[in-house]
Amino acid sequence: MIPALGMIETLGLVPLLNALDAALKSANVKPISGVIKLDGGIVAVMIAGDVSSVRAAIEAGAEAASRIGELKAAHVIPRPDDALLPIFLGADKS
């Protein structure tokens, strides 16, 4: 079971990579997905860790993405259900 799941969604890859870099440097979290490609140039990534670390990482990542591009969404899910990850990732990554 993952203690917390964080997601960052941006328009374009460069803001997403900048957001992920800031998130990983700001807290003890790890990426659990590759780049998730959505329609219209929107891309996303998921990170995991304890709740406070994921919150700090998502805040840092969202701020970094907003500085150089368009942040579409940033969200933290504390204690996600085990069935949630296979829906997005295709296999259980816990």
The closest alpha carbon to 54, from 1, 10, 8, belongs to 8
* Dihedral of alpha carbons 67, 23, 42, 37, sign: positive
Q: Is residue 32 part of a domain?
A: yes
Q: Is residue 83 part of a domain?
A: yes
pLDDT at 91: 57
Q: Say how many domains are in the chain.
A: 1
Q: Which domain holds residue 63?
A: 4-89
Whole-number Cα distances in Å, 60 to 7, 34, 73: 12, 19, 13
pLDDT digit string, tens, across residues 39-78: 999 999 999 999 999 999 999 999 999 999 999 999 999 9
pLDDT at 85: 78
Q: Are 49 and 30 in contact (CB under 8 A)?
A: yes
Whether the full predicted model's pTM is greater than 0.95, yes or no, is: no
Q: Is residue 94 part of a domain?
A: no
pLDDT digit string, tens, across residues 15-43: 999 999 999 999 999 999 999 999 999 99
CATH code: domain of residue 48: 3.30.70.1710
